[in-house]
Amino acid sequence: MTSRAPLAWSAAGLIAAVALPWYALQEGLDSGAWLTGLWSSEDYASGFGQIVEQGRWWLAPVLLALMACLAAALVPATRQQRGTLLLIASTAGLLLFVAQALGIGLRGWTAAWLTGLFGELEVRQVGLGAGGAVVLVALLSLLSIGLALRGNFGGDAFVAGAVTTVAASIVLFTAWPILRILVQAFQDGDGVLAPVLLLERLATEKIWSLRCLSGGGRCGVAWNTLFLAIGCGVGTTVLGLAFALIVTRTSFGFKKTLRVLTVLPIVTPPFVIGLALILVFGRAGLVNQFLEWSMGIEPTRWIYGFHGVFLAQLFAFTPVAFLVLIGVVEGVSPTLEEASQTLRADRWATFTTVSLPLMRPGLANAFLVGFIESIADFGNPIVLGGDYGVLSTEIYFAVVGAQLDYGRAASLALLLLVFALGAFFLQRRIVGTGSYATISGKGDSGLPTPLPAAARRAAACVALPWAAFTLILYGFAFVGGFVKVWGRDYTPTLDHYAKAFAVEHTADGLIWTGAAWNSFWTTLKLAAIAAPLTAALGLIAAWLLVRQRFAGRAALEFATMLSFAVPGTVIGVAYVFAFNVPPIEITGTAMIIVLCFIFRNMPVGVRAGMAAMSQIDRSLDEASLTLRGRAPQTLFYVVLPLLRPALVGALVYGFVRAVTTVSAVVFLVTAEYELATTYIILRVINGDYGLAIAYSCALIVLMLAVILLIQFAVGERRLGRRAVALKGGPA
């Protein structure tokens, strides 16, 4: 490798240190006011200006390390020597950068021992700006180039850069915020470390009681969470597999309709499912009213508690399992199934001994996602939980309740991480180290084997009633937006839609006068930004974890699931804790919402990508390398076209979750950046259910349109197999 790449990055970092403000600007770069103060102004000065004119000497070692990288790029040296020099200089620069960023804050030194060592510091240090950010990126890039030059990651700079980017982004925007909030579990109210407090906070009867098993009371919230998560993981995996089998392995005539019905719950704000279940099964719901009228049965509140939350979570998370499994089921090689039948195995034996074992990575990943979604779910338990408490709601009340106990909330969040870690290692043990590759460079024109009759009937009995139930539930929710007051006045009306989405035509053009337009456009814009970034980062991470071998790979894999295992409420509070003060001050901006979307939703793309990639034989990568294709060419032209189902799943999930998320952003939104879900929640709190349902229905239509657009843009994966009409319908 030549020295061009390290030379370019070193020069970019030094130019930024001269020509861009080091610290964040309140008015932004586009104002242009900073151009006249790059040296003289304390607020606008560049890195060199801050050192020379403002006396911020602690920035000098960082820029000296960057100059050392420039020298390493210019001096004559072997590949190994240049890599060593770059690695030493960039590592030193990164350590110095982090040290000065964390050591100096708004009030000078951030620790008493630093004050004792260096004396009082009169100047302050605000959040990082454009100049500092470019220098940080340059140092990270130089670190990855140095590793590649030394032979790490197979000497491939692209792989080294991808690993560095993914790892650094996860550390900065997942591990660091969560660490900031979890450290509260070991501190008292004054911030003094007291590790014994963690045991005191967790060793309570409310968390670990098992009285429900003996009929003498309630179980603790930890057991409630675990029981619910296991049931949800199994239930969503079974339902998702049933839908995937019907869509891919039967001649069912309404496959597109079935796909839409499986996706409907995922494009719905979580509290809407709970509200619809209450309207149908609640004490004053249609079912109870009918039973009381026809049979004199006293209305009950059975929907509140485990049954209601479990039902709502199945509705909400089955689509996620379906998105993970659809590509896996499609990827099972017909050639292997035909070989089994050639050896006189019947369809049932082929299905149970060949097809299902090859789906094991997808099934395990679907269970893991369902389990973690359940333990982190907040919307459904808060609406339907009743007296059935779970850890996520306990954390919420610890933060926003009268107690305001961040230490207890952090302790419960730590317990959730333990549950997630256990599920993660269980998933790895189930999948094991076996090979599940079914897509290779060899010709594969076998015919997809129809499901055996027993499996076809079982899938139909599971999926079709659930689809009908989904259709009925959403029918009632949809009607709720067209009546004045559900349960009291069923007079048809369009008032709710008019109030939310009114448009007036004036001499100056169209004016969006509806009350919901501001939050609608903001949500659409931020979700459109976040979704492709979420998918790209997730699939690149999946490619690295499946195809590359490097130290710390297992730790990186778990880190990708870290934000998924923590309730959204905790993530929101963690982001406020981490990014409300230097070195990164972005609270109140659109950037913090987009980052929360990306790293909260990325794990589904990672798991879907890993499940799909485990079926792609490495011989395809090796063939590309044999033809002198580099790693990026292999990824974009060989692997990525075969990952279209996973890409669709990641894009759809990234966009939809950005639109429908509640708990993760409830602490991050502002009057300027109000989102659709927070607007709807306020309407529900005010009792304006008609407007809330009308807005939710509009969001559902929007997301269905976007999903169709994504599927059209990405296209279908072509595996070169013969297409025939499968015998046998779903029943």
Q: How close are the terminal C-alpha atoms of the chain, in Å?
A: 61
CA–CA gap between residue 114 and residue 374 (Å, rounded): 44
DSSP SS3 for 595:
helix
Question: What's the Cα-to-Cα distance from 11 to each of 44, 65, 274, rounded to whole Å?
Answer: 21, 12, 55
CA–CA gap between residue 254 and residue 27 (Å, rounded): 54
Summarize pLDDT for 584-638 with one digit per residue, the tens: 999 889 999 999 999 999 988 888 888 788 778 888 888 888 887 788 888 888 8
Question: What's the Cα-to-Cα distance from 675 to each of 145, 269, 420, 515, 569, rounded to whole Å?
Answer: 40, 12, 29, 12, 16
Give the closest residue to 147 by CA, choosing from 1, 321, 309.
Answer: 1
Summarize pLDDT for 376-391 with one digit per residue, the tens: 888 788 878 888 889 9
Q: Residues with Cβ < 8 Å from 3, sequence gap 6 or more?
A: 73, 74, 82
Pairing of strands 104-105, 503-506: unpaired
Q: What is the pTM of this model?
A: 0.80
Residue pair 139/13 in contact (Cβ under 8 Å)? The answer is yes
CA–CA gap between residue 412 and residue 391 (Å, rounded): 6
Q: Residues with Cβ < 8 Å from 30, sequence gap 6 or more?
A: none
DSSP bridge pairs for 512: 503
Pairing of strands 503-506, 509-512: antiparallel
Residue 119: both structure tokens together: 């004396």
Residue 89: both structure tokens together: 């200089």
Parts of the chain with a pLDDT under 70: 1-2, 189-191, 216, 263, 266, 270-271, 284, 401-403, 431-448, 486-488, 565, 685, 716-731
Residue 333: both structure tokens together: 């090689």
Count how many residues are written for the chain.
731
Residue pair 141/78 in contact (Cβ under 8 Å)? The answer is no
Pairing of strands 483-485, 104-105: unpaired
Residue 647: both structure tokens together: 């890409």
Residue pair 499/285 in contact (Cβ under 8 Å)? The answer is no
Residue pair 718/238 in contact (Cβ under 8 Å)? The answer is no
Residue 163: both structure tokens together: 């690993």
Q: Give the type of residue at 409.
A: A
CA–CA gap between residue 538 and residue 541 (Å, rounded): 5
* Sign of the C-alpha dihedral computed for residues 389, 395, 399 and 403 taken in this order: positive
